Amino acid sequence: MTTPLNCRNYIDGQWLSATGEATLESRNPALRSEVVATFPRSVINDVNVAVTAARQAYQSWRKVPAPARAEYVFRVGEILLQHKEELAQLMSREMGKPLTEARGDVQEAIDCAFYSAGEGRRLFGQTTPSEMPNKFAMTVRMPIGVCALITPWNFPVAIPCWKAMPALVCGNTVILKPAEDTPACATKLIEIFAEAGFPPGVINLVHGVGEEVGKALVEHPDVDLVSFTGSSETGAFVGATCGRTHKRVCLELGGKNAQVVMEDADLGLALDGAVWGAFGTTGQRCTATSRLILHRDIKEKFTAMLYERTSKLRLGPGTDPNTDIGPLVNELQLQRVSKYLEIAREEGAKVLIGGDIPNEGQLKNGYFFQPTILDEVTPKMRVAREEIFGPVVALIEVSSFEEAIAILNDTNYGLSSSVYTRDINRAFAAMRDIEAGITYINGPTIGAEVHLPFGGVKHTGNGHREAGTTALDIFTEWKSVYVDFSGSLQRAQIDNRS
Ligand code: NAD
């Protein structure tokens, strides 16, 4: 076992202890006895100090030319590349995902760095003709100010970068409040930002408990924007508070994603997609495949194929290269998934495979849960409607394409979706009719790329999209600028025509 990392806050360019003495710890979910990191239980005073630093730094950072701001972000990408393996190993130990996926998490941050840095030389506005002679009209993007970034543990490097990188290129200063389960990943990440040489106060890190530090940031009068990724329950609180305090807010929340497999699909391809989508990251992705909607003509055959593949998946620590499925992140998640299995049984779903906490060998030392297939699920069951966030997939049988799309849409969430079919007409109908922020045709529900908008409809979000150029709309405000070079008062058309 390695010595636990002693994490501190990073405020105004310095690594600082928190105001109080209290500390918390993160543990290896594959080996409960291993403490990965200790971190401060920060208090409101620490939040205040960070906000003051970020506010002060904002005044000069916003005036640094965007291409120069972007060069810092580009440098973060270069340093991340050098530390990719080290970060992936740490991530795998701290939150449990298999190493190959942890490397992917860091790679996503690297892609985001280089993509966001390119925006420093674009940040396009528009010019448009004025309705008057000798008058020039244009739009420019303005930064917003101090941004609080509140993030979950499931993508502990990629998600903070998705938020911080475009925010910084746009001229904002940021305060990261990472999840309690992944303080070491956040600390290592911010060390890399620090090495990239940002001026003091431009990027800050405050560790602590969501209901304390996160809440204090959301309520702080000098925070201008909150970018939040997490559960829909917490998101509702964040959204309501930001509404009351007139803050801009971007919410990326839960999902209940479905993959449809039609009778004309390539079943081998659909199987690869289903296994990866349902069990990748132990089902703890906001885009995870939680429902498989199967046409009745292929249901039996596909279910047998899925059963066979699932039975071969190897549970184990993420750091073991032979592992297919790592542990759940913590005790609470294990209880939550176990509870949903109870609910499934009570509601009459049939557990085809899995359904329990394994108790063999080293698995007893961690928060493992068997990969689980629930059969005979009906659309009204809770396991068909609520986010489980574990390695559990519910099978729902349908008789037509129209029924499949109706059931796919019959949820409060709307993040990702997928349809496997060889019929081009169905593919286009799916693209049109599915109520989700992301639709894959002949691909699994997971696998977003950084240059496309990411986010969902309904209770999954509040209309914003991270990544892509749409991230710029979160972190900037538009200003319309009119320049009159006529030398006389020209009234706009509304005041000029009877
Ligand atoms: P969570 O809501 O419990 O916590 C998320 C973050 O919010 C953490 O940093 C936590 O400390 C903080 N927090 C908790 N209470 C708070 C409060 N009262 N005020 C301010 N901050 C508070 O979520 P989680 O369990 O860490 O993450 C899992 C959830 O995240 C799932 O629902 C998943 O679908 C969702 N998620 C969504 C996306 C997306 O882009 N849509 C991506 C990843 C995860």
pLDDT digits (tens, 9 = 90+) for 26-42: 999 999 999 999 999 99
Q: Whose CA is nearest to atom 22 of ligand 1?
A: 210
Q: How far is the CA of 286 from the centre of ligand 1 (A)?
A: 10
Taking domain 5-253+461-480, whether its CATH number is 3.40.50.720 is answered by no
Query: What confidence category does residue 1 fall into, taking pLDDT thresholds of 50, 70 and 90?
Result: low
Beta strand residue intervals within 130-214, DSSP E:
135-143, 146-150, 173-177, 203-205
Q: Across-strand partners of 205?
A: 10, 176
**Dihedral of the alpha carbons of 112, 203, 194, 157, in degrees to the nearest 10:** -40
Does the CB atom of residue 8 touch ligand 1 within 6 A? no
Q: Name the residue type at position 441.
A: I
Q: How far is the CA of 334 from the centre of ligand 1 (A)?
A: 16
Q: What is the pLDDT of residue 277?
A: 98
Q: What is the pLDDT of residue 435?
A: 98
Sheet holding 203-205, edge to edge: 14-16, 9-11, 203-205, 173-177, 146-150, 225-229, 248-252
Does the CB atom of residue 390 touch ligand 1 within 6 A? no
Does the CB atom of residue 214 touch ligand 1 within 6 A? yes
The Cα–Cα gap between 165 and 78 comes to 13
Q: How far is the CA of 148 from the centre of ligand 1 (A)?
A: 14
| Tens digit of each residue's pLDDT (9 = 90 or more) over 403-432 | 999 999 999 999 999 999 999 999 999 999
Q: What is the pLDDT of residue 498?
A: 62
**How confident is the prediction for the chain on average, in pLDDT?**
97
**Do 173 and 58 meet the contact criterion of CB atoms below 8 Å apart?**
yes
Q: What is the pLDDT of residue 493?
A: 79
| Tens digit of each residue's pLDDT (9 = 90 or more) over 48-102 | 999 999 999 999 999 999 999 999 999 999 999 999 999 999 999 999 999 999 9
| Tens digit of each residue's pLDDT (9 = 90 or more) over 217-272 | 999 999 999 999 999 999 999 999 999 999 999 999 999 999 999 999 999 999 99
What's the burial of 312, exposed, middle or buried (CB within 10 Å: 0-12/13-18/19+)? exposed
**Do 393 and 351 meet the contact criterion of CB atoms below 8 Å apart?**
no
**Residues with catalytic function:** 252
Domain ranges of the chain: 5-253+461-480, 257-441
> What fold does the segment set 257-441 form as a domain?
Aldehyde Dehydrogenase; Chain A, domain 2 (3.40.309)
**Directed axis angle between helix 158-169 and helix 66-82, to 10°?**
160
Does residue 2 have a pLDDT over 90? no
To the nearest 5 percent, what fractions of the chain are helix, strand and coil?
40, 20, 35
- Give mean pLDDT, residues 197-216: 98
Does the CB atom of residue 408 touch ligand 1 within 6 A? no
CA 234 to ligand 1: nearest atom: 2
Nearest CA among 49, 337, 93, 374 for reference residue 220: 49
Does the CB atom of residue 230 touch ligand 1 within 6 A? yes
Q: Name the residue type at position 339.
A: K
